[in-house]
Amino acid sequence: MAADVVLAVDVGGTQTRAALVDREGHVMHRQSVRTPADEGADAVVSAIAQSCRSILSEAGITTAIPLGLCAPGPLDAKRGIALSTPTIRGFTNFPLRQALSDALGVPVTIENDGPCAALGEWMCGAGRGTENFVYVTISTGIGGGVVSDGHLMRGRLGLAGHVGHMPLKTESSAICFCGKPGCWEAEASGSALQKKALVAGFTGLPDVFARAEGREPKALSFVAAASDDIALGVVAIIHLFSPERVVIGGGVSNGFNVLGPLIRERVDARVLPPFRGTEIVRAGLGDDSGLIGAAQLVLHPHTAA
Amino acid sequence: MAADVVLAVDVGGTQTRAALVDREGHVMHRQSVRTPADEGADAVVSAIAQSCRSILSEAGITTAIPLGLCAPGPLDAKRGIALSTPTIRGFTNFPLRQALSDALGVPVTIENDGPCAALGEWMCGAGRGTENFVYVTISTGIGGGVVSDGHLMRGRLGLAGHVGHMPLKTESSAICFCGKPGCWEAEASGSALQKKALVAGFTGLPDVFARAEGREPKALSFVAAASDDIALGVVAIIHLFSPERVVIGGGVSNGFNVLGPLIRERVDARVLPPFRGTEIVRAGLGDDSGLIGAAQLVLHPHTAA
């Protein structure tokens, strides 16, 4: 019989989060530790294992329960190998699944973070009930994952859904983290919008969103411009994937109350007629999409690569 | 036992092509007739049926063999209904599959033209052997279809792969057929490039390509600019779908000898490192991708919606 609660780990470039998660996406005994990203793969594996042991001990679990993990890619999910994660030293052709399985003595499943977060939202969050949906996370950068025809899309090396690097504004002077001008991420990510907010005299994006809720004209016009930039990428996504729903997560979705209606309006004004009315909603799992998705990989093995 | 030769029909807004096609994609007894697009759905069905009867008679086939058809969407392929094809009068909530099946007395399978052409290239053309590939047709407009994780992607209403309407150059003054500025199609389609070629003093795109093969500087610089515009969309496609290969068809692919190397160079200079080296090749089936794909739908029923 399949376990009903599993270990879930979301490895980020700065922070690693671990917890016990069940089929409904409930997160229990959550822990968060610094990712020792500069100390090599063994240090990262040790930190994960230690965190998991501490969770199991806290929960009083002594049996071996399986673990699902997501991390920045590219990971070869089928073979269990971290191919070349740029933000973690040593995650280069590193047998992550085996190393972690050896350290903890449990079966391990790994997945790229974009598809994994999409899986979390699909099974337990704002993507429920769809056959085709796209998850977009707008925070430091812009990432995402795709469900198409009821299937979690992976693509070569599991790298489908790198939506942040569509060249949508090549005339712009904003340079992306990737070094190129005009990526969607360079215009519409949390970092990009935060920088624009500071230049415009706000104390930051939260300030913009609060003032826009209070109907301050300057904040409303900032939010309108941000919605334009976000909508461009959503328009591209809708034409390419034809989803029933686009789910927006990440830090910028904290402003969804004010951004959402404007994004919808701009998208509907621009897409071809049969795409009008595509639902655009806020993510349902906050920062936990990846963590919860990592658990669902294990709890619903047909979703694993 | 499944048939080895089937009827295949590719309905376009101006021309309808029909033929017998086998599993290897051989096209036999080809016919091409004008699509009576202004005369309503019944006239279109009659024209298709007449063309098919004439093919069967010419081939001396008296048994009922099944038919695969593709047409501009959106079509509901599962239910067999043309939902709202803009270029054909009467293709609005029209039970195309049933009407054609009644007219010919054979089983009919229908599909949207983008995915169907991708299927043709995947099974019999330049997409063979891939698990993830994107077919892009650059002619009057820009369309396409996607194979992801070994699965022909459809999306809501079968409309996935409308790659022409990514808003890639919103600062541009070129207005797309859809009425919006800056769509990829408005910059890089055959019509857009043809117009630019005339403005630049060429007699047309074929003239540009011939002169570029002869290394005429002015033609080479035109081709370089066209490659820039084509590459932008390919960059977006690669980040979103992570294909092993992008296959370019349509009229503009006649210039692939001169365009191909430049497109590859520009794409590789722009994509994130793990996407470098994605193959970019010319379509293998010329104008027959859709026709051959329509046959494969029937010959390989697991590929049908």
Position A273: which residue type?
P
The interaxial angle of helices A190-199 and A217-241, nearest 10 deg, is 160
- Cβ partners under 8 Å of residue B98, min gap 6: B80
- Chain A residues lying within 8 Å of B148, measured CB to CB: 148, 151, 153-155, 160
pLDDT in tens, B121-154: 999 999 999 999 999 999 989 999 999 999 999 9
Q: Contact B135/B148 with Cβ under 8 angstroms?
A: no
Could you tell me the fold of the domain covering B129-284? Nucleotidyltransferase; domain 5 (3.30.420)
Closest residue in chain B to residue A274, using alpha carbons only: B74
Within 127-146 of B, beta carbons closer than 8 Å to A belong to 131-132, 146
The CATH homologous superfamily for domain B5-116+288-303 is ATPase, nucleotide binding domain (3.30.420.40)
Distance, CA of B247 to CA of B198 (rounded, Å): 27
- Cβ partners under 8 Å of residue A158, min gap 6: A73, A74, A75, A76, A77, A111, A112, A115, A305, B242
CB contact under 8 A, A167 and B236: yes
Note the pLDDT of residue A1.
Answer: 41
B275 touches chain A (CB under 8 A): yes
Domain boundaries, chain B: 5-116+288-303, 129-284
CB contact under 8 A, B168 and A170: yes
Distance, CA of A152 to CA of A17 (rounded, Å): 23
Nearest to B160 among A83, A178, A242 (CB): A242
Domains A5-116+288-303 and A128-283 are alike in CATH topology: yes
B160 touches chain A (CB under 8 A): yes
Q: Give this prediction's pTM.
A: 0.94
The CATH label, of 3.30.420.40, 3.30.70.2860, 2.30.31.70, 3.30.1360.200, for the domain at A128-283 is: 3.30.420.40
A151-152 sheet: strands from edge to edge: A151-152, A142-148, A133-138, A245-249, A279-282
A276 touches chain B (CB under 8 A): no
CB contact under 8 A, A242 and B162: yes
Within 190-229 of A, beta carbons closer than 8 Å to B belong to none
Give the residue-averaged pLDDT of A37-45: 96
Per-residue pLDDT of chain B (305 residues; tens, 9 = 90+): 446 999 999 999 889 999 999 999 999 999 999 999 999 999 999 999 999 999 999 999 999 999 999 999 889 999 999 998 888 999 999 999 999 999 999 999 999 999 999 999 999 999 999 999 999 999 989 999 999 999 999 999 999 999 999 999 888 888 988 899 999 999 999 999 999 999 999 999 999 999 999 999 999 999 999 999 999 999 999 999 999 999 999 999 999 999 999 999 999 999 999 999 999 999 999 999 999 999 999 999 888 88
- Best interface-test mutation with A: which of B85, B241, B263 has the largest number of A CBs within 10 A? B241
B33 touches chain A (CB under 8 A): no
Nearest to A168 among B157, B167, B273 (CB): B167
Give Rg (Cα) of chain A.
Answer: 19
